[in-house]
Amino acid sequence: MYKILTVKPFIYNLTIFALLVGITIFSSCSSSKQVTRVDADTTIDLSGRWNDTDSRMVADDIIQDCLTHPWINDHGINTGGKPVVIVGGIRNKSMEHIPVATFITDIERAFINSGKVRTVSSSSERGEIREERADQGEFAALETVKRMGRELGADYMMTGEINTIEDREGGDQVIFYQTDLTLTNIETNEKIWIGNKKIKKFVGRDKFKM
């Protein structure tokens, strides 16, 4: 009788301990995140908001349209060379945060990869480059110093803005993005090309979500 009374509490305590360990392990597993690496070009829409795919697609499509218009051939006829383009300010006038710097980089990449234009650095980037040239003039070997006053002046500047329109009903949402870009002759202030790209996204409720 004495042995039974001492074994039962031991078994009871061991059972409680095992349950506590199981609950702890289950909670840890259920709250852990799974990270999967995917190709950088893979399209993944989680929230329906502007993402890297939108930035890249809009830049590629709108620059392709820009480079198929008569202005580029006219420039070649008049000067005998490729036009020099600088990407200026792109304003985010939408209702959400859009990383404009990434979009500008995508535009510059599309211009450069086309091989049809020459692209120069923005004003903020030029400041850093000029500091480097000044530093070379003082500290670099004479035969390697890059000269001042040799920068390539731009012929055209691209500017633009991104706008959004949102429509909601219940848990459903439609997001409409419109990107408008303008290419202007810097010397004459003439607008030589205006283009836009539109994206519409429907974000619906999960039917099976309780």
- CATH number for the domain harbouring residue 160: 3.40.50
Contact 90, 103 (CB under 8 A): yes
Read off the pLDDT band of 96 (50, 70, 90). Answer: confident
Question: With 50 as the cut, is the pLDDT of residue 210 above it?
Answer: no
Structure tokens at 152: 């390539």
Read off the pLDDT band of 28 (50, 70, 90). Answer: low
DSSP classification of residue 50: -
Contacts of 87 by beta carbon, 8 Å cutoff, 6+ apart = 104, 107, 108, 111, 119, 122, 157, 158
Count how many Cα atoms sit within 13 Å of the Cα of residue 20 in the half-sphere of its side chain. Answer: 6
| Domain of residue 65, residue span | 52-203
pLDDT at 120 (0 to 100): 96
Summarised one tens digit per residue, pLDDT across range 38-60 is: 666 666 666 667 888 889 999 99
Q: Does some domain include residue 20?
A: no
Q: Does some domain include residue 171?
A: yes
Q: Find the farthest-apart pair of alpha carbons in the chain and give their distance in angstroms, rounded.
A: 111
Task: Name the residue type at position 109.
Answer: R
Q: Tell me the Ramachandran region of residue 177: left when phi exceeds 0, alpha when psi lies from -120 to 50, beta otherwise.
A: beta
- Helices assigned H by DSSP within the chain: 2-31, 52-66, 70-79, 100-114, 123-139
Q: Does some domain include residue 22?
A: no
Smallest CA-to-CA distance from 178 within 166, 164, 194, 159 is with 164
Distance CA 120, CA 111 (A): 11
Q: Does some domain include residue 76?
A: yes
Quick count: other Cβ atoms within 10 Å of Cβ 76? 13
Q: Does some domain include residue 66?
A: yes
Contact 165, 151 (CB under 8 A): no
Q: What is the mean predicted confidence (pLDDT) over 81-110?
A: 94
Q: Does some domain include residue 15?
A: no
Structure tokens at 9: 């509490």
Read off the pLDDT band of 10 (50, 70, 90). Answer: low
Read off the pLDDT band of 106 (50, 70, 90). Answer: very high
Split into its structural domains, the chain has a count of 1
Q: What is the mean predicted confidence (pLDDT) over 151-156?
A: 95
Read off the pLDDT band of 197 (50, 70, 90). Answer: very high
Q: Does some domain include residue 161?
A: yes
pLDDT at 82 (0 to 100): 96
For residue 91, list its beta bridge partners. Answer: 161
Distance CA 87, CA 117 (A): 12
Q: Does some domain include residue 124?
A: yes
Quick count: other Cβ atoms within 10 Å of Cβ 180? 18
